Structure formats: C-alpha cells, structure tokens
Amino acid sequence: MNIAKHHPGSAGCLLALLLAASAAQAAPAADPLFKPLIDMRLRYENVDQTGFANEANALTMRVRAGGDLRVAPATRILIEAEAVLGLVNDYNSTTNGNLFYPVVADPQNIEINRLQIQNKSIANTTLTAGRQRINLDDQRFVGAVAFRQSEQTFDAARIETSPVKNLKIDLTYAWKDNTIFGVDSPIAHINGNNVFANVAYATPVGTLTGFGYWVDQDAPTRLQFSSVTYGARFAGKYAFSKTANATYALSYAHQQQAFDNPFTYDADYYLADVGLGFGGFAIGAGYEVLGASSGKAFTAFQTPLATLHKFQGWADKFLTTPGNGVRDAYASAGYTVTKVGPFASVSALAVYHDFNSDRAGLDYGSEIDLQLLARFQKYVLTLKYADYNADSFATDTSKLWVSVDYVF
C-alpha cells in the first residue's frame, strides 16, 4: 500500500510527528503543567509459515507523539497521534493485498490514538472520557495489545474509584473499539455497547477481583464474538526474603452469547499460574483452559478484546479460540542480571507450551518461545523468537523479531 496515496499528506504528517518528537526531547521541561508524550519503535519481523512459498519480512517504524496538558487543578487533556510506516513491505498487513505472504498485523496507518479528558477532583476517584487506553488485570479480557505497532484503544467513559481502603471499583462504558488493524481495514473501528465492570479488594495475601464484561461487536463479520462474561480472579505475591518470592494466580469465568450473536452457547474459562523468583532467576508454570461449549459445535470461549499476544504462545496461532476449545499447559524459565556494561539490565526468557483441545481429545501442537531483552537509558532492545510445531491444528510457523523501543 502506498500510504501517501491512501492518506493525503500522510508523509508530511509523519515528518511532523518526528520533528515534534525531536523538539520535545531537546527542549527543557519549562512548563510543568505540560508533559510531552513520545513513543517510538523500529521493528523487524520475519514469519516462515508452512503453506506459503514466501516468508514475510516486515520492517516497520511506529511513532506516537502528543501531549498531556493540565487545564485545571484536577483536570488534564491528553492527545496523542500514532503513525506506522512500512519500510520493508514483503508481508500481508491484512490491508495491503499481499495475500501470498504470511500475516504481520502491522498495517501502515495514521490516526488519533488517544484523545481524552481526565478529572480527579473527587477524592480517590478518576474520571476519564474520550479515546483511551484500557488494561484490566492481566489483560486476558480487555487490553491495549501493546505488542502490535498500532494499539487497541476505546472510545469510552470510565470511572475508577476507591470508596474505602483496599477496595477499587472500575466501571467503563465503551461505544467504540479502535482495533489494531488501521484505518484502511473494514474493522478499523467496531461500534457496540460494551460494558466492563471490575471490582477488586486487596488482602495481605493477594487481590480478589470480581468482573463482568459485556462485549458487543456490531461489525457484520464480528457478531459471533458478542458475549457476556462473569468471573473472578485471585492473584498475589509472597516474599520469602528480599531476593526470593512466589507469585500465584487463579481465575474462573463463564461466558455465553449476547447482543446480536447468532450462536447460542455457554463455555468456561480456567487459569492456574504459579511462579518462583530467587536472585535473578525465575521459573513458572501454568494451565489455562478456554473451554468448548457443552454439546455445541464451533462455539468456544472467546476473548476478542484481550491483549492476545501475551497468551497461548507468541506465534499467535490461537487468536481466535478453535471450536473445540484449547488447553494450554506451559512452563517458563528466565534470568535477569543488572548493570551489564552499558545496560541497566539484561534478561533472558524461555517458555514452552503444549496445546490440546478442550473437547474431542485433539493434540493441537506445541511451541517454544525465546526472548532476550536489554535496557539502556530510555531504550529497550528486544530479540524474540517463536516456533510453533503443529500436530492437528494450524501449520508449522516460526517468527523472529528484532526491535528497538524508545519512550520519552
């Protein structure tokens, strides 16, 4: 896709964003009422997928620039533009028509990423209205999809309040889902009457959360993802010493169709996750189930508004839950060391997944994920690899990422 053709003045807009970012970085913070927002990422992604003669090669640059201005003692206005430019475009972005390449869901794009007004004049309460980023709990049900170059935001009204100590109530009404697929996509924006209700109580051993999510996907190709989900989550951390700790999480949810979903179903979700950290080492294991509806074909637990890349493997083979559901047994090991030469920290992570169906006894496949991450001042350097070995679901796929992030 020629971005300048489809977005008149887009090249100039991208240049303006870059110049604004550079100027904001260079200028001293003379006005404490204003906070510049600058977020850049240069990333190369390679995808080698069985069934495609060509490998995908995507080199993309993402720039977000804007500002956060205090307009009254308790009120701020935030505006942030986002631009994604394809420097090497040998991939299927989902909008560029390169169907003979595997998908890399980072289309060229220019849009208003966030435009919100926020007020904190009520004690222990934050009110936010407008286009905003929303991440709830571990982002398994609602998240911003930060891994992709264009993130997911919501046009919404949100209230976060703590009426008593240790209790937090988070309520959102969102009338539009601004997806990761860019302005050229038929599902760039999905309207609907979405409600996110989240109530959390902090205890000495962890946080207990109850939630209800009403997801309304009005787009004709997305009606089957409209649902209502109720559930609970308990997550905590226990420190054995200054250098050793344990983390744990349990979650359960029940889902059924809602709004204009043409299918009738009900399905369950389960998660058990534990981890141990000692010194710079960390190990973990977990079991996550997105269940299939009892006695119903092609209906399973879905999480269309989640930060899906965080779950069920980085190869992203299970972005839509298969009709027979999915069971993911996984284990991880990592190590972090601080102050390595010029780097503030360097960390390595390895994760193994074994995927099976929830119904019908199918062995879907397995996946190995590897990551090396280094932090240098305001930069994050990432080398990342995923290798999915298919058995009875999808196809063998390997992905490689090399990226540099900068946040001012």
What are the pLDDT digits (tens) for 142-200? 999 999 999 999 999 999 999 999 999 999 999 999 999 999 999 999 999 999 999 99
Instruction: Give me the pLDDT at residue 294, please.
Output: 79
At 9, is the pLDDT very low, low, confident or very high (cuts 50, 70, 90)? very low
Q: Please name the residues in contact with 104: beta carbons below 8 A apart, sequence gap of 6 or more.
A: 45, 47, 56, 58, 91, 92, 93
Contact by Cβ (8 Å): 222, 304: yes
Instruction: Return d(Cα 45, Cα 93) in angstroms, integer.
Output: 12
Residue 80 is assigned to a structural domain of this protein: yes
Q: Tell how far CA 100 is from the center of its chain.
A: 27
Map tokens 């047994």 to a residue: 329
pLDDT over 90 for what percent of the chain? 90
Contact by Cβ (8 Å): 148, 105: yes
At 384, is the pLDDT very low, low, confident or very high (cuts 50, 70, 90)? very high
Residue 35 is assigned to a structural domain of this protein: yes
Model pLDDT for residues 85-108, shown as the tens digit of each residue: 999 999 999 999 999 999 999 999
Is residue 13 scored above 80 in pLDDT?
Answer: no
At 297, is the pLDDT very low, low, confident or very high (cuts 50, 70, 90)? low
Exposed, middle or buried by CB within 10 Å (0-12, 13-18, 19+), for 23? exposed
Residue 29 is assigned to a structural domain of this protein: yes
Q: Please name the residues in contact with 363: beta carbons below 8 A apart, sequence gap of 6 or more.
A: 355, 356, 391, 392
Is residue 295 scored above 70 in pLDDT?
Answer: no
Instruction: Give me the pLDDT at residue 392, please.
Output: 97
Residue 185 is assigned to a structural domain of this protein: no
Q: How many domains does the chain have?
A: 1
| CB neighbours of residue 337 within 10 Å | 12
Map tokens 């102050």 to a residue: 339
Q: Please name the residues in contact with 76: beta carbons below 8 A apart, sequence gap of 6 or more.
A: 68, 69, 70, 117, 118
Q: Return phi, psi of residue 271, to 5°.
A: -145, 135
End-to-end CA distance of the chain: give it in Å, rounded.
Answer: 30
| Average pLDDT rounded to a whole number, residues 335-347 | 97
| Amino acid identity for residue 283 in this structure | I
Higher-pLDDT residue of 16, 338: 338
Instruction: Return d(Cα 369, Cα 330) in angstroms, integer.
Output: 11
Contact by Cβ (8 Å): 201, 166: yes
Q: Tell how far CA 320 is from the center of its chain.
A: 14
Contact by Cβ (8 Å): 178, 152: yes
Contact by Cβ (8 Å): 240, 247: no
Is residue 277 scored above 50 in pLDDT?
Answer: yes
Q: Please name the residues in contact with 25: beta carbons below 8 A apart, sequence gap of 6 or more.
A: 36, 38, 408
Structural domain of 41: 1-112
Instruction: Give me the pLDDT at residue 283, please.
Output: 98
Residue 263 is assigned to a structural domain of this protein: no
Residue 239 is assigned to a structural domain of this protein: no
Instruction: Return d(Cα 352, Cα 386) in angstroms, integer.
Output: 10
Model pLDDT for residues 194-243, shown as the tens digit of each residue: 999 999 999 999 999 999 999 999 999 999 999 999 999 999 999 999 99
Give the 3-state secondary structure of residue 278.
strand
Model pLDDT for residues 45-72, shown as the tens digit of each residue: 999 999 999 999 999 999 999 999 999 9
Instruction: Give me the pLDDT at residue 298, please.
Output: 63
Instruction: Return d(Cα 196, Cα 152) in angstroms, integer.
Output: 15
Instruction: Give me the pLDDT at residue 299, please.
Output: 86
Average pLDDT for the chain: 92
Residue 121 is assigned to a structural domain of this protein: no
Residue 68 is assigned to a structural domain of this protein: yes
Nearest-CA neighbor of 390 among 367, 361, 369, 368?
A: 367
Instruction: Give me the pLDDT at residue 29, please.
Output: 40
| Amino acid identity for residue 279 in this structure | G
Contact by Cβ (8 Å): 399, 386: yes
